[in-house]
C-alpha cells in the first residue's frame, strides 16, 4: 500500500479544516451570528449566548474538497463517490438549515425532528434510486 495515498488526503482534510475554522469563527463573531438562548432555560446556559454555530460547514467543505481532489488525483472520481458526496452535502444542508433558522431567524428551535427525518429519508431514497440505476 502506498502511504502517500493515505497520508495526503488525511493531511489535506485536516489542513483545510484547521485553516478555515478560525476564519469561520472570526467572521461569525464579527457579524455577531451566534446561538440564541431560550429565556425559560437554566441561567447557566446564558454563557453559551452568541457562540458561533454552523461549524459543521467547515468540516463539510474540507471533506468535499478533499474527496474531489483525491478522486481526481487517484482517478477514482466515480459515480459512487459522487452519489456519496451528494448524500453528505444533503445531510449537511439539513444541519445548515437547522442552524440557519436558529441564527438568522433568532429562534432557538430550528427544524423540527419530523422535518429532519423527512429530509434524511428523501436523501436515502435518492441515494437508493441512483445507486440501483447505476448498478443496472
Cα Rg of the chain, angstroms: 18
Calculate ∠ Cα 14-17-23, nearest 5°: 150
Evaluate whether 33 touches 25 at the Cβ level (below 8 Å). no
Q: Beta strands of the chain (E only): which ranges?
A: none
Give the whole-angstrom CA distance, residue 128 versus residue 62. 25
For 40-51, how does the pLDDT look when each residue is reduced to its tens digit (9 = 90+)? Answer: 666 665 665 656
Evaluate whether 94 touches 120 at the Cβ level (below 8 Å). yes
Give the whole-angstrom CA distance, residue 23 versus residue 8. 23
Domain count, the chain: 1
Low-confidence ranges of the chain (pLDDT < 70): 1, 33-54, 106-108, 135-136
The whole domain housing 68 covers 4-135
Amino acid at each position: 500500500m502506498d502511504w502517500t495515498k493515505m497520508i495526503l488526503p488525511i493531511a489535506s482534510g485536516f489542513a483545510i479544516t484547521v485553516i478555515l475554522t478560525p476564519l469561520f469563527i472570526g467572521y461569525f463573531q464579527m457579524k455577531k451570528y451566534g446561538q440564541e438562548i431560550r429565556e425559560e432555560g437554566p441561567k447557566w446556559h446564558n454563557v453559551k449566548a452568541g457562540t458561533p454555530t454552523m461549524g459543521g460547514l467547515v468540516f463539510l467543505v474540507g471533506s468535499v474538497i478533499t474527496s474531489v481532489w483525491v478522486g481526481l488525483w487517484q482517478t477514482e472520481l466515480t459515480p459512487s463517490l459522487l452519489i456519496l458526496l451528494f448524500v453528505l452535502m444533503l445531510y449537511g444542508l439539513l444541519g445548515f438549515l437547522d442552524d440557519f433558522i436558529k441564527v438568522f431567524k433568532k429562534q432557538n428551535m430550528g427544524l423540527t425532528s419530523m422535518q429532519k427525518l423527512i429530509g434524511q429519508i428523501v436523501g436515502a431514497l435518492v441515494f437508493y434510486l441512483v445507486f440501483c440505476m447505476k448498478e443496472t
